[in-house]
Amino acid sequence: MTKTSEGTGEDIAADLVALREDVARLSESISALLQSQAQGVARHVASAIDDAKVKLATTTDDVKSRVNAAGDEVEASIARNPLTAILISFGVGMALGMMSRLRH
Question: Which residues fall within 8 angstroms of residue 78, CB to CB, at 6 or more apart?
Answer: 85
Per-residue pLDDT, 22: 92
Ranges of the chain with pLDDT below 70: 1-6, 104
The residue segments making up the domain with residue 22 are: 2-103
DSSP labels, 41-104: HHHHHHHHHHHHHHHHHHHHHHHHHHHHHHHHHHHHHHHH-HHHHHHHHHHHHHHHHHHHHHH-
- What pLDDT digit, counting tens, does each position of 49-62 carry? 999 999 999 999 99
Per-residue pLDDT, 95: 94
- The total domain count for the chain is 1
Per-residue pLDDT, 84: 92
Rounded to whole angstroms, the Cα distance separating 17 from 56 reads 58
